[in-house]
Structure 1
Amino acid sequence: MGKIEKIFITHTHGDHIFGLIPLLASCMNGAGGVTSESGDDPRATVEQSIPPLEIYGPLGTRAYVRSGLAYTHTLLARPYIVHELRLPTDPPDQDYTTLPPPVAESPNGRNIASVDGVWPEIYKDAVVSVSAAPIQHSVPCVGYVVQEATVPGKIDPRNYIPDLKRTKTPMSVMSKLQQGESVTLNDGTVLQGPPRRPGRKIVILGDTYDPSPIIPLAGGADLLVHEATNAHLPGLDSNTKDIDTYESVQERAMSRGHSTPQMAGKFAKSIGAKRLILNHFSARYPGDESKGSLQIMDAIGELAAQEFGKAVICARDFTSVDIGFEE
Structure 2
Amino acid sequence: MTSVPKRSLLTSINVTFLGTASAQPSSTRNHSALALRLNRDVWIFDCGEATQHQLQKSAVKMGRIEKIFITHTHGDHIFGLAPLLASCMNGAGGIVAEGQDQEQKNEDPRVAVDQNIPALEIYGPLGTRAYVRAALAYTYTLLGRPYVVHELRFPSDPTENDEPAGVARLLAESAHGRNIQMKDGVWPDIYKDGVVSVSAAPILHSVPCVGYVVNEAPVPGKIDPSKYIPAIKRTKTPMSVMRQLQAGEKVVLNDGTELQGPPRRQGRKLVILGDTYDPSPITHLAMDADLLIHEATNAHLPGIDKDTKEQDTHESVETRTKSRGHSTPQMAGAFAKNIGAKSLVLNHFSARYPGDTAPESLKIMNAIGQLAEREFGKPVTCAADLYSFEVGSSE
**TM over 0.5, shorter chain:** yes
Q: Which residue matches 2:66?
A: 5
Q: 2:114 aligns with which of 47, 60, 63?
A: 47
Mapped contact 2:290–2:394 kept (Cα < 8 A): no
Q: Which residue matches 2:13?
A: none
Identity of aligned residues (%): 72
Q: TM-score, normalised by structure 1?
A: 0.97
Residue 251 in structure 1 maps to residue 319 in structure 2: yes
Q: Which residue matches 1:215?
A: 283
Distance 1:142 1:95 in 2: 22
Any stretches of 5+ residues in structure 1 without a counterpart?
none
Instruction: Kindly state the Cα deviation for residue 115 of structure 1 after the two structures are TM-superposed.
Output: 0.3
Q: 1:67 aligns with which of 102, 123, 134?
A: 134
Distance of aligned partners of 1:24 and 1:232 in 2 relative to their CA distance in 1, 3 Å threshold = same
Instruction: Kindly state the Cα deviation for residue 326 of structure 1 after the two structures are TM-superposed.
Output: 4.5
Q: 2:271 aligns with which of 203, 214, 217?
A: 203
Instruction: Kindly state the Cα deviation for residue 98 of structure 1 after the two structures are TM-superposed.
Output: 2.7
Q: Which amino acid aligns with 2:144?
A: A
Q: Which amino acid aligns with 1:275?
A: S
Instruction: Kindly state the Cα deviation for residue 34 of structure 1 after the two structures are TM-superposed.
Output: 5.1
Could you list the structure 1 runs, at least 4 aligned residues long, displaced by more than 6 angstroms after superposition. Answer: 35-40
* DSSP-derived class of the 2:289 partner: coil
* DSSP-derived class of the 1:24 partner: helix
Q: Which residue matches 2:51?
A: none
Distance 1:246 1:184 in 2: 64
* DSSP-derived class of the 2:262 partner: coil
Instruction: Kindly state the Cα deviation for residue 33 of structure 1 after the two structures are TM-superposed.
Output: 2.6
- Residues 209-249 of structure 1: CA deviation (Å, up to 9, x unaligned): 00000012111100000000000001111110110100000
Mapped contact 1:35–1:41 kept (Cα < 8 A): no
Mapped contact 2:356–2:384 kept (Cα < 8 A): no
* DSSP-derived class of the 2:64 partner: coil
* DSSP-derived class of the 1:296 partner: helix
Mapped contact 1:225–1:278 kept (Cα < 8 A): yes
Q: Which has the higher strand share?
A: 2
Q: Which residue matches 2:52?
A: none
Distance 2:246 2:316 in 1: 55
Instruction: Kindly state the Cα deviation for residue 325 of structure 1 after the two structures are TM-superposed.
Output: 2.3
Distance of aligned partners of 1:4 and 1:14 in 2 relative to their CA distance in 1, 3 Å threshold = same
Q: Which amino acid aligns with 1:108?
A: H
* DSSP-derived class of the 1:5 partner: strand
Mapped contact 1:43–1:75 kept (Cα < 8 A): no
Instruction: Kindly state the Cα deviation for residue 178 of structure 1 after the two structures are TM-superposed.
Output: 0.2
Structure with greater Cα Rg: 1
- Residues 154-182 of structure 1: CA deviation (Å, up to 9, x unaligned): 10111111111211222221111000111
Q: 1:29 aligns with which of 77, 90, 99?
A: 90
Distance 2:65 2:299 in 1: 34
Mapped contact 1:83–1:112 kept (Cα < 8 A): yes
Any stretches of 5+ residues in structure 2 without a counterpart?
1-61, 101-106
Distance of aligned partners of 1:4 and 1:245 in 2 relative to their CA distance in 1, 3 Å threshold = same
Q: Which amino acid aligns with 2:84?
A: L
| 1:38-187 equivalence runs, <5 A | 41-93=108-160, 94-187=162-255
Distance of aligned partners of 1:23 and 1:241 in 2 relative to their CA distance in 1, 3 Å threshold = same
Q: TM-score, normalised by structure 2?
A: 0.80
Range with greater deviation from structure 2 (198-207 or 98-107)? 98-107
Q: Which amino acid aligns with 2:159?
A: P
Distance 1:41 1:144 in 2: 37
Mapped contact 1:29–1:78 kept (Cα < 8 A): yes
Distance 1:12 1:316 in 2: 23
Q: 1:18 aligns with which of 63, 79, 84?
A: 79
Higher relative contact order (CA 8 A, sep 6+): 2
Q: 1:301 aligns with which of 369, 377, 385?
A: 369
Task: Count residues with an aligned counterpart.
Answer: 327
Distance of aligned partners of 1:265 and 1:241 in 2 relative to their CA distance in 1, 3 Å threshold = same
Instruction: Kindly state the Cα deviation for residue 96 of structure 1 after the two structures are TM-superposed.
Output: 4.7
Instruction: Kindly state the Cα deviation for residue 30 of structure 1 after the two structures are TM-superposed.
Output: 0.4
